[in-house]
Amino acid sequence: MSSTPGGTGAPQDRLKVLSRRAFSFLLDWMAWGYVAYCVMYLLNYYWYTVHVDWWGTLTLPSWGWPVVILSTLELAVWCRSLGRSLGQRAIGVALRPVAGERIRLGRRVLRGFLWHLSVPFAPVWIARGEEPLHDRLTQVGLRTETPDPERPGRRAILTQWGFFSLFLAALTMCVGWLIIGINLQVLIRRAPQAGRIWGEMLRPDFRYFTAPDPVFHLRALSYSILDLTVVTVFMALVATVLGGVMAFPLSFLGARNVMGFSPAGWATYGVIRGFFNVFRSIETIIWASIFAIWVGYGTVLAGILALTIHTIAALGKLYSEQVEGVSPGPLEAVWAAGGSRIQVVRHAVIPQVLPSFWAFTLYRWDINVRMATVIALVGGGGIGDMLFYYKNQGDWSKVGAVVMVIVAVVWAMDYISGRLRERIA
């Protein structure tokens, strides 16, 4: 890239130069902003917890924010002119003289001052393919840094950039530790209480494995552990099958190579991919809490709907990525023989992707079984109902029994689906 002097390059290239320079500047500014935030957090922490001055306050005055913003801006500017810029390094450029060997300190300082005058017009100059004034007058320019393969340089950690990143990492760790404010001592202090619970859970109560537990009711009916385990596995199965069946046709609509490059193709692709991404980023447990309100708290239907929605989106994305990864040759051959788009999908795409579709679906069933054991927490039904009921009763030996059954089922599912996937692939 780099801003080549003298108006060369197409307009879109110049815009790219402009946006990259702006991006690298923002990066510098944000880095200093981050350091400023960390320092202020540490000061605050000192003030309220070590110094403990409850009478004084440590809030910024009304002119404080502009000062912080301007001072970080100044820091970024001077770093860039003095040649120690994270942002310049990130886009792989450095300040270089137009002629001559190296830039004297005076020229760098001059550039720093000139920047303040010329920055409002800098975008105009760069967009016109010229150097901005502060670069032109000081005879420097941002040039792409190409590493010299003959001189590999020192190990990255020993450079000043290495020290700087170590410092940033240490600062982040310190501030982060204070922010989350955890206390590991409780882990030891309350170990005896936890020990009692562990002890009860490890003596599981399997009396109600097959016989319904009279204490536990769901809508006036009692269930055994096995009853609800079977319900849970089938919830996952139904959700996986429904989700897979719906994701299958949608995945072809969300694949670039099938949809082609017409405006309608782009639109369909965008809508479908957007649907996949949005619905996939909303976790099953959130869907379950929505559907629990919609179709009834603690019903199996709520759980199945939640699992299905998430399965459609997750499988749809995986499927369409597989479709995009098929080798284009067979598609070309079916087109050449006079096939339609549907025939191309049916006879060139599907035979190539079907095995991996099966593998993903099996894996998804596996995930859904695991999800189905916990969605009862928000009213999704399944064995979790029993688990959380016993937990709330403090009946830890029954909790232990339920957890062990869940572990056994999940392990078995994992093993079976793993073996099946091996056979398919």
Partner 1 sequence: MPTPYLVIDGLTKVYERGQVHALRGLSFSVEKGEFLVVIGLSGSGKSTLLRCINRLIEPTEGKIWLDGTDVARLSAKRMRRVRRRIGMIFQQFNLVDRATTVRNVLTGRLGYMPGWRSLLGLFSSQDKQTALANLERVGLRDKAYARVDELSGGQRQRVGIARALMQKPEILLADEPVSALDPATSHSIMQYLEQMNRQDGVTVIASLHFLSLARRYGTRIIALKDGQLVFDGPPKTIDNAKFKEIYGEDAEEVEVR
Q: Which residues bind partner 1 (CB under 8 A)?
A: 329-330, 332-340, 342-343, 346-348, 351-352, 355
Cα–Cα distance, 201 to 313 (Å, whole number) = 37
Query: What amino acid occupies position 362?
Result: L
In the bound state with partner 1, the residue whose beta carbon lies nearer, of 18 and 350, is: 350
CB of 221 vs partner 1, minimal distance in Å: 45
CB of 11 to partner 1, least distance (A): 14
- Our CB check for partner 1 shows the closer of 334 and 413 to be 334
Given the complex with partner 1, which of 160 and 327 has the nearer CB atom? 327
Q: Which helix (H) or strand (E) holds 142?
A: strand 140-144
Closest approach of partner 1 to the CB of residue 85, in Å:
34
Taking the least distance from each CB to partner 1, the nearer of 210 and 340 is: 340
- How far is Cα 87 from Cα 261, in angstroms, rounded to an integer? 36
Cβ pair 255, 263 in contact under 8 A? no
Q: What is the C-alpha separation between 224 and 207, in angstroms, rounded?
A: 9
Determine the longest span between alpha carbons in the chain, in angstroms.
91
Q: Select 188 or 342, whichever has its Cβ closest to partner 1.
A: 342
| 239 contact partners, CB below 8 Å, separation of at least 6 | 303, 304, 307, 308, 311, 368, 372
Least CB distance to partner 1 at residue 340 (A):
6
Q: Please identify, using beta-carbon distances, which residue of 10 and 52 lies nearer to partner 1.
A: 10
Contact 397, 201 (CB under 8 A): yes
Closest distance between partner 1 and the C-beta of residue 355, in Å? Answer: 7
Nearest to 320 by CA among 284, 265, 273, 262: 273
Minimum CB–partner distance for residue 357 and partner 1 (Å): 12
Residue type, 161: W
Q: How far is the CB of 337 from partner 1 (least distance, A)?
A: 5
Torsion angle of C-alpha atoms 333, 339, 340, 341, degrees rounded to 10:
-20
Q: Which is nearer to partner 1, 209 or 335 (CB)?
A: 335
Min dist CB 28 to partner 1, Å, is 35
Of the pair 139, 352, the CB lying nearest partner 1 is at 352
Residue owning tokens 């859904």: 368
Give the separation between CA 331 and CA 352, rounded to whole angstroms: 10
User: Which residues are registered as beta bridge partners of 141?
Assistant: 96
